[in-house]
A and B are shown apart, each in its own frame.
Chain A
Amino acid sequence: MTGQALLNMLSDIGVTTLIAIGLLCFLVVTIRNLVSTIQLILAARIFATRIRPARRSYDLWTRYADLALPVSVIAPCFNEELSIADSVRALLALEYPDHEVILVNDGSSDGTLQTVIDEFDMRPIEREQLADLQRTRILGVYGSARYPNLILIDKQNGRKADAVNAGLGFAAAPLVCVIDADSIIEPDGLLRAAEPFMADDGRLMAVGGAIRIANGSIVNGGHVREIRLPGQWLARFQILEYLRAFLTARMANARLGMLMLISGAFGMFRRAVLVDIGGYRHDTVGEDLEIVTRIHRRMREEGRPYRVDFLPEIICWTDAPATWTGLRNQRARWQQGALETIGRHSPMLLRPRYGRIGMVGLPLLIIEDVLGPPCELFGYLLIPILYFMGVESGIVVLAFFSLTVLFGTALSLATLALEEVQLRRTPKAKDLLMLGIAAIVENLGYRQANLAFRLYGVWRFVKKDVRWASAGRAGFTRA
């Protein structure tokens, strides 16, 4: 065999290998797209056939004021000196007949603790800790002289999971609502989240709500006073992503009994189940995904009937990353958290004992979070490479990119239409148009950057890097 023939053979093998990998990636991406399409169709069907919750908070009040189950709202905070007073006031003002607010100061190094003590007339109190779930030391427990339902727990720094666990240990209500202190729940959010528990026979373990992006909206006194579309395109792309995630994926997954994520920014849980499983894990950056997966695992292992639900009417506003660096840190953290959860709960994988979670939910999570990002990114790189190698023509490259953009846009627009028909929370017709444009533009850079950020998360996972990287939030726009 001559040298040229050997070179040709190696070249053929290389090209064939590239095409084979490309086909594999195409298969993974196709499955992901197929899943997204099924979720969209299912969500549309659920929206069209479900019995809607009461439309106005007034209805909820009149129906449930007497029977509302007590709720402990656990709000961990860290270095939030400037906004903490507003946040606490908003939590105390939530429309709910019987709720206590447990604020956990997670070893803030600024004046957060003193601000809360001064603003709410907090005094040291004696309070029994019902469960010892945190790993750090509790430095003090305070009660408000003015608000009997406000408790402040001061503790050493130990990150969010540890802070929530500390709050959980002091929570005395049958339901606990875990929120980020810097998120804003709509005034009737607690009542809406507790509603499914009122008519529940004991199976409902947790309820999640929709997270919406408050960038650009006017916030005052811990409430969103005026909903506005953010001026930044980066935030607009994230609005679309959140809509897709919450209105289609979670709606469909909840109906199928496969909801594996309740956002850390807002979730209502039965206290007993959280304590029973030992609270949030301290050694993961994706504690919200991990805890719901662990609830599924425990319930399935014990053979207990249970469900985890999602209600799109529960709205919690959050401040989305306003910079690419912040977005990278956030997405890398999500990716890392997903990989940690998959690794920790891999024994559930494809085991019939774990039902839909083991047979469908986790495999889909793997396709979505382990295989998906590298495969899609590889596809974007492979097509031009094959073109420059002369393996494929320009029209094939054009077709590939056109189909990718078309499919991505179609999913986003369909979700936007679903939101408009069912919930109508986009402020104005003009904003709807801008989001429609964002649905196209996000395919030209944002989506690919996101894939790269997720690969960065994979890298952090491999390196076992557990440092907390800031999401670089801009802060709410105040009136």
Chain B
Amino acid sequence: MPIADHVARIAVLICVFGALFMAAALLFIVMRRDRLEKGRRSRADLMLALTREIMGHLQDGEARPVFTRAKVRDKLKAVSRMIQLVRGEDQARLIAFAEREGLLDDAMRAVKKAGPREQVEAIRLLGSVGGERAVETLREALHRAKSLEVRLEAAGWLARLDALPDPRSLISDLALEEQQITPLHRALFSLLARNGPEQLVALAGMPLRPAIKALAVEALGWTEDYSTLRILAEASTDPNPPVRLASINAAARLGHPDSARWILPMLNDPVPPVRSRAITACVSIGIAEGLEPIRALRADPSPWVRLRAQQAEQLLAATP
């Protein structure tokens, strides 16, 4: 028999075994899915039983046979679901319960030791439960994690838990002096504003690179503190366009009519995005005096400015 036929026989044999293996693999996947589908009901029942027991235990210290037998993963799932539904003291009691039962221990260990994927998963878990120990671990991750992506995730969850560090630490932890500023960074700074304007005002006055200064100035808009208007007015004459843009954004968010006196001159700013943003700020604050200069901008060389002027004219003219 020629060699080709021998090789062909071996190939056919491989195909036969390969086909058997694939049939077994397909069967395994299908059976696995079938088991998951059938187990869905019992998992729902388990969650219900765990929820009842945890609630009962927290209120009256009831016995909890299902909870004792359940896996940590299921217990944690039940607790994190319940935490989304309760507030105040009930939430604090649940968090204390989770900490006491050691439900967060694995996640805390993972944040410190595992790879980025596991770290992020653990951070999400801790962030969804909250509590002092979780915040402590998240802060540590923000400060020490090797991956910037992991740090950013930790910062995002700390922001949700209202536990972000001060702006200077955040800049250092997220390496913002070297990194490009993204919308996510802007969101973090806007959440920092909840803690009051003092630190942001101090930051805005420091000799920082324009992108960071713009970050601080824009965040002032979220402080709901009109005393910051003075800082914004100063920023409106900054030589760097991103800072000027940030000052308009912040003023538009604060919505105080006093800012009109420095926003109106910005309609003639040499940089088109600043002019364009000044137009939209006039609309959102309701600066009627802006209508005439905005009409003049319908002939602006920038199509963006013309578009915003067109839209603003329609809106301002309709305002009584």
A201-B179, A402-B15 known; A429-B303 Cβ under 8 A: no
Q: Is B70 an interface residue (CB 8 A)?
A: no
CB–CB A402/B12 < 8 A: yes
A406-B18, A432-B29 known; A69-B183 Cβ under 8 A: yes
Size bracket of the A interface: 35 or more
CB–CB B33/A126 < 8 A: no
CB–CB B26/A413 < 8 A: yes
Q: Is B271 an interface residue (CB 8 A)?
A: no
**Total A-B pairs, Cβ < 8 A:** 118
Which residues does A use to contact B, with CB under 8 Å?
A: 49-52, 62-64, 66-69, 126-131, 172, 197-202, 392-393, 395-396, 398-400, 402-403, 405-406, 409-410, 413, 416-417, 420, 424, 426, 428-430, 432-433, 436
CB–CB A406/B15 < 8 A: yes
CB–CB A428/B37 < 8 A: yes
CB–CB B33/A410 < 8 A: no
Min distance, Cβ A150 to any Cβ of chain B, angstroms: 15
CB–CB B12/A410 < 8 A: no
For B11, give its contact among A197, A399, A413 (CB under 8 Å): A399
For A66, give its contact among B9, B156, B187, B303 (CB under 8 Å): B187
CB–CB B183/A49 < 8 A: no
Interfacial chain B residues near A429, Cβ < 8 Å: 30-31, 33-34, 37
A396 CA to B12 CA, complexed, in Å = 9
What 0/1 pattern do residues 284 to 316 of B give for CB contact below 8 A with A? 000000000000000000011011001000100
For A399, give its contact among B12, B149, B183 (CB under 8 Å): B12
A199 CA to B179 CA, complexed, in Å = 11
- Besides A200-B182, A436-B26, 10 new A-B residue pairs in contact (Cβ under 8 A), listed by A number: A51-B116, A51-B117, A51-B149, A127-B307, A172-B307, A201-B180, A201-B182, A399-B7, A413-B22, A429-B33
Min distance, Cβ A399 to any Cβ of chain B, angstroms: 4
CB–CB A396/B180 < 8 A: no
Interfacial chain B residues near A62, Cβ < 8 Å: 160
Q: Is B58 an interface residue (CB 8 A)?
A: no
**Which interface residue of B190, B303, B306 has the most chain A CB atoms within 10 A?**
B303
Interfacial chain A residues near B187, Cβ < 8 Å: 63-64, 66-67, 198
Output the nearest chain B residue to A434 by Cβ-Cβ distance: B30
Q: Is B44 an interface residue (CB 8 A)?
A: no
A430 CA to B34 CA, complexed, in Å = 8
CB–CB B11/A402 < 8 A: yes
Among residues 1 to 36 in chain B, which have CB atoms less than 8 Å away from a CB atom of chain A? Answer: 2, 4-5, 7-9, 11-12, 14-15, 18-19, 22, 25-26, 29-34
Interfacial chain B residues near A67, Cβ < 8 Å: 183-184, 186-187, 190
A169 CA to B203 CA, complexed, in Å = 40
Output the nearest chain A residue to B18 by Cβ-Cβ distance: A406
**Can you give 28 contacting A-B residue pairs, CB < 8 Å?**
A52-B117, A52-B120, A62-B160, A63-B160, A64-B187, A129-B303, A130-B303, A131-B303, A172-B307, A198-B187, A199-B183, A201-B180, A202-B180, A395-B8, A396-B4, A396-B5, A398-B12, A399-B9, A399-B11, A403-B14, A409-B19, A416-B29, A420-B29, A429-B34, A429-B37, A430-B30, A432-B30, A433-B30
